[in-house]
């Protein structure tokens, strides 16, 4: 019985270690979001510094993120994950 208890404890500690990389790959960092917004701005001839916390985490998106202007200009953009149950946020771009 003692070895069973030890095995349960061992695997109980091992599972989060194994699962952590899989969970982490299911996220998009704020830094990655910043990069994608900057790239989108560059394609239309603009430069900016998106107001995104680089440490913030967003749910991964199996589709490409959709980045579009809000309020008729690029000072604020909508970033949207078009997946079913996806997400959407507004980000100030601080266009230079």
Strand order in the sheet with 88-92: 66-70, 73-80, 88-92
The pLDDT assigned to 23 comes to 41
> In whole angstroms, what is the distance from residue 30 CA to residue 55 CA?
6
State mean pLDDT over 14-22. Answer: 42
pLDDT tier, 2 (very low <50, low <70, confident <90, very high otherwise): low
What average pLDDT does the chain have?
84
48-80 pLDDT, tens digit each: 999 999 999 999 999 999 999 999 999 999 999
pLDDT tier, 1 (very low <50, low <70, confident <90, very high otherwise): low
* 57 contact partners, CB below 8 Å, separation of at least 6: 27, 28, 29, 30
Task: Using the Cα atoms of residue 55, residue 89, residue 79 and residue 69 in order, give the sign of their dihedral.
Answer: negative
Question: Structure pTM?
Answer: 0.72
Of residues 14 and 45, the one with the higher pLDDT is 45
- Domain boundaries, given as residue ranges, for the chain: 28-92
The pLDDT assigned to 82 comes to 97
pLDDT tier, 96 (very low <50, low <70, confident <90, very high otherwise): confident
> In whole angstroms, what is the distance from residue 67 CA to residue 40 CA?
7
């Amino acid at each position: 019985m003692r070895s069973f208890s030890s095995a349960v404890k061992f695997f109980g500690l091992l599972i989060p270690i194994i699962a952590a990389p899989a969970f982490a790959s299911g996220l998009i960092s704020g830094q990655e979001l910043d990069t994608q917004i900057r790239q989108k701005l560059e394609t239309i001839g603009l430069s900016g510094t998106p107001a995104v916390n680089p440490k913030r985490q967003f749910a991964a998106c199996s589709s490409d993120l959709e980045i579009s202007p809000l309020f008729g200009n690029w000072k604020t953009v909508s970033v949207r994950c078009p997946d079913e149950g996806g997400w959407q946020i507004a980000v100030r771009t601080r266009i230079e």
